[in-house]
Amino acid sequence: MARFNVNVEAPPAPNVKDIPPSTSFRVSIENPIAAKVKLKARKTLDGNILILDHPEIDIVLSPKNNKVLALSKNQYADHVYATQSRLFEHLVKNGVVDPASVHGGNVYGSLEALMLESAEPAKSDSLQTTLYSVVSFLLEEKPYYMATKRYELEVEKDLLEPNEEDSTELGEVPHEPRKGSLSQFKNMGSYGMFGTTGY
């Protein structure tokens, strides 16, 4: 658990009778709380941080180049671009990337932006603040992808382990001599589609 010191300053009162019933106080925290998060992350040889938690994109924080890069995991479609766009909208709203620098990267299907430099490096580190903002984006996205995963598992379970109402035993439904629109007897008396459809 993080420790912090709190200084409480009240306006000086010459007499106990002069203190109003509601007094305003100013609270200042000397050492801020250090937050810890668990991520599927790796550090590359050149010092970049690769975050792998999102199911659709990989996020790269490059302190050397002052960049945030979002790469597609294995698909190149509109929904991946929408995810990348949501990430950078989130980072822009949190004030950690330059909105004018968001553009497509030199890697196919990627988006990138420049991290903003901290005006007060002693109080807030640019990389740590950007990392915190990326984590808050991942937490916002997590319920949606958890629901999608649950739905996929339920559909798979319904197909592989159906209940008694949605399934039949072998032989319970009698076999008909002819089923569907396609005939099992090919080329009956004519050419082309006429013979295969059984007209």
> What are 65-96's pLDDT values in tens digits?
999 999 999 888 888 999 999 999 999 999 99
What is the count of structural domains for the chain?
1
Domain with 101, as residue range(s), is 55-120+131-159
Tell me whether residue 23 is in a domain.
Answer: no
Q: What is the pTM of this model?
A: 0.64
Structure token digits, residue 195: 């013979």
The answer to whether residue 85 sits within a structural domain is yes
Contact call for residues 130 and 87 (beta carbons, < 8 A): no
Indicate whether 79 belongs to any domain: yes
**For 115-154, how does the pLDDT look when each residue is reduced to its tens digit (9 = 90+)?**
999 888 777 888 888 998 999 999 999 999 999 999 999 9
Query: Within a domain: residue 75?
Result: yes
HSE-up of residue 82 (Cα within 13 Å, Cβ side): 4
Tell me if 102 is assigned to some domain.
yes
More confident residue, 55 or 167: 55
Nearest one of 48, 71, 47, 67 to 59, comparing CA atoms: 71
Q: Which residues pair with 42 in a beta bridge?
A: 50
CATH number at residue 92: 3.30.70
Is position 166 within any domain? no
Residue 176 domain flag? no
Separation between Cα atoms, residue 36 and residue 55, nearest integer Å: 22
How far is 11 from 77, CA to CA, in rounded Å?
Answer: 61
Q: Is residue 146 part of a domain?
A: yes
Q: How far apart are CA 151 and CA 30, in angstroms?
A: 47
- Residue 2: the pLDDT is 47
Average pLDDT of span 46-61: 92
